[in-house]
Structure 1
Amino acid sequence: MARQAAATTRPIRLADVARAAGVSHGTASNVFGRPEIVRKEVRERVHAAAEKLGYAGPDPKGRLLRAGKVNAIGVATAQPLSYFFEDPFARVVMSGISQACDATGAGISLVSAANQEHLAWNIQSALVDGFIVFCVEGGSRLVELTRERKLPFVALDFAFEDQTVAAIGVDDRAGARLAARHLTGLGHRRFAVLSLPFADDAATGPASQERRRRSIYAGTRDRLLGYFDVVAEHGIDTGSVPVYETLNDERTVRAGLNHLFAQPEPPTALLAMSDRIALAALDWLRERRLSVPSRISVVGFDGVPEGAISIPPLTTVVQPMAEMGRRAARAILEHDGSLPRETMPLELVVRGSTGSV
């Protein structure tokens, strides 16, 4: 009885349809895959048999895998899926990836997970020709997992000493120097840094020198070093510059500003490690009627579109985010066995959020 029940639940296969329609397996396959070479009456007979048996058609996954290419890119991050839609940097990079995919008719699969167990499964099961890896957090684990798939991948970061890791990114330290040099040129000497995370433990608050030194995120470490390169050139003790670690979100940025402006000598210039941080800071300052830039100057990092229309417009270090996405996508779609390590140019765009002391 159990054997009979199992037989009734077996999925309907193409061979069953061919048998019911009185045609060969090859003819039935052509009806679904190459219908133009099958006579109309035969097609109709096969479709009628398929409908009667409840056959939905061949598995597209199997067909794509047999073809050896699925014409799709996986875009991976260890962040929750909402990161692709909420983070301004991610949205602009995704626009560049989308443009490259649209040009070739390729698809995009977003691969993310809030925990490592799901991330491993999602990377292993993604039906893609290669990966673009957002190395904002958990980058090393992402690279490890994508390598296991033995598919081409490009990291949007230079967080890896391993020169065999294909990467497209920017020189974070040089970009941070541009921001700090602009502010020192305006006469500022009292700085504070609103930083990205130094580690993956979700800690926030004033970052000790030891925590900064042990940073596991190269981008955060290098931006801080770039700021301090310039600050030190002007005889300022970098140990006296407050660094408040945020989670790159409004809640922790506001907590950081509450802390910084409660000090006896609050800063006259804020160095924000992302535009998202800087824009949240502008909102906080405006609510408290702390005039920007006459009371305090703010410099961001990224060049997201929202910065051009903020109040006031944001001075920022611009990285070519959309072009980075386009180049990474093309490297996967046009993969010829080699993958790039390319440093993209940075530019300081001066707007209304910075002024002289």
Structure 2
Amino acid sequence: MNTRVTMADVAASAGVSTMSVSYTYNRPSRVSAATRDRVHEAAAALGYAGPNRTARSLRSGRHDSIGVVLGEKLTYAFEDPQARRFVSGIAEACLDADTALVMLPNLHRETDNARIRDAQVDGYVVWTTEIDDPLLDVLVETGRPTCIQGGPDHPGLNSIAIDDRAAADAVATAALHSRSRPAIVALRPDTRRESTIVRGADASDISMPVTRARLEGYRDACLQSGIEWSTVPTLFTTNNARPEGDRAAQVLLQDNAIDTLLVMSDELALGVLDAAATAGIDVPGRLAVTGWDDSPAAAEAGLTTVAQSLFDQGRSAARWVLGLSDSVDEAIWSVEERASTGRANDPQTKDTVI
């Protein structure tokens, strides 16, 4: 039986990383002459002709375009404020490189992997996806530089993200000051888009790395505050939209047992504030609320939130993919404490920057 030789086989034979093999074929200036020689010798010995038919064409010419892979409908890039910021950052890098931008949906349909693999692009920036997404291996096999925002970490691919677990711990700690009955409004745990409520949710069961890390951070803060994790309900949403946050809050607040809602996005948190206002629930007197991303709307609403720049992350990821930078920038975050947790003017609280 004739087994196809892969890039990983060449890397193992040459004693280098899969990324080094990728660079040898597509960005040879990024690896040393000695590494290039080792890769080419191993490739010749194994009968390896190149990453794939599209990637081989890159050795003789560029497409002058970059692929943006979204695990959402294409409309999400225009409807969601944070997705817009992220794509805008990529577009800024494209201006610097006189490069086109190609939008590629990854909805886990049978045709998606082939479409993304065969796209006429020089590399990819990926909006976070599942840890076991088959597309990750497909992207490695293309031999094109790829950077994933928010992870997951995957051999042969680069990533850019803040420390979501530490940020979640910090913002939850701020919200839980003198409070003891939290609930969580979480981003969807996988691609099934089912809304569920789980008490004492196990982060290891979650395949979306951002959701997993934030849930771990919230759990850290609860345990540090003496709160039994098994009592904490987490509502997983079907989408990241303001009406979904409103719906989630109505479900979680119906028994009046919750005094804190830790929410994994500003859009969802703004929906929570809508539901609280409709129900006549005082924020922060009766209920503390936190968000994530620090959008202009969150600042206007007085929402305590985790601040990060998805514009900067998109720009840095794209610059690395396009060869304009040797590395991605370190992603930074801070906790912006405002009126929704009742401590905006507390002189003992300070932002955390990592």
Q: TM-score, normalised by structure 1?
A: 0.74
Q: 1:221 aligns with which of 212, 223, 244?
A: 212
| Map of 1:104 onto structure 2 | 97
Alpha-carbon separation, structure 2, partners of 1:343 and 1:217: 21
Alpha-carbon separation, structure 2, partners of 1:134 and 1:195: 18
Q: Is the 8 A contact 1:138 1:200 kept in 2?
A: no
Q: 2:310 aligns with which of 315, 318, 321?
A: 321
| Map of 2:138 onto structure 1 | 145
Q: 1:177 aligns with which of 152, 169, 189?
A: 169
Two-structure CA RMSD over aligned residues (Å)? 2.5
Q: Structure 1 residues 280, 139: CA separation in 2 closer, same or farther (over 3 Å shift)? A: farther
Alpha-carbon separation, structure 1, partners of 2:307 and 2:256: 33
Q: Deviations over 1:190-247 (max 9, x none)?
A: 2110011122222212125466441112221211111111111121111111111112
Kindly report which structure 2 residues correspond to 1:93-242, keeping only aligned pairs within 5 A, or say none: 93-137=86-130, 140-160=133-153, 162-185=154-177, 187-209=178-200, 212-242=203-233
Structure with larger Rg: 1
How far the C-alpha of 1:339 sits from its partner, in A, is 5.7
How far the C-alpha of 1:154 sits from its partner, in A, is 0.5
Alpha-carbon separation, structure 2, partners of 1:283 and 1:141: 38
Q: TM-score, normalised by structure 2?
A: 0.74
Q: Is the 8 A contact 1:158 1:170 kept in 2?
A: no
- Of stretches 205-214 and 239-248 in structure 1, the one that deviates more from structure 2 is 205-214
One-letter amino acid of the structure 1 residue matched with residue 310 of structure 2: M
How far the C-alpha of 1:303 sits from its partner, in A, is 2.0
How far the C-alpha of 1:254 sits from its partner, in A, is 3.1
Q: 2:61 aligns with which of 55, 68, 81?
A: 68
SS of 1:133 mapped into structure 2: strand
| Map of 1:58 onto structure 2 | none
Q: Structure 1 residues 115, 217: CA separation in 2 closer, same or farther (over 3 Å shift)? A: closer
Q: Structure 1 residues 210, 305: CA separation in 2 closer, same or farther (over 3 Å shift)? A: closer
Identity of aligned residues (%): 30
Kindly report which structure 2 residues correspond to 1:35-74, keeping only aligned pairs within 5 A, or say none: 68-74=61-67
How far the C-alpha of 1:170 sits from its partner, in A, is 1.2
Q: Deviations over 1:161-197 (max 9, x none)?
A: x454211111110010111111123x22221100111
Q: Deviations over 1:311-344 (max 9, x none)?
A: x2221101121111111111011168x765x651
How far the C-alpha of 1:350 sits from its partner, in A, is 1.6
Unaligned 5+ runs, structure 2: 1-53, 344-354
How far the C-alpha of 1:92 sits from its partner, in A, is 0.9
Q: Structure 1 residues 260, 308: CA separation in 2 closer, same or farther (over 3 Å shift)? A: same
> Are 2:336 and 1:349 aligned?
yes
| Map of 1:262 onto structure 2 | 254
What is the number of equivalent residue pairs in this alignment?
Answer: 287
Q: Is the 8 A contact 2:250 2:275 kept in 1?
A: no
Alpha-carbon separation, structure 2, partners of 1:169 and 1:98: 19
Q: Is the 8 A contact 1:93 1:321 kept in 2?
A: yes
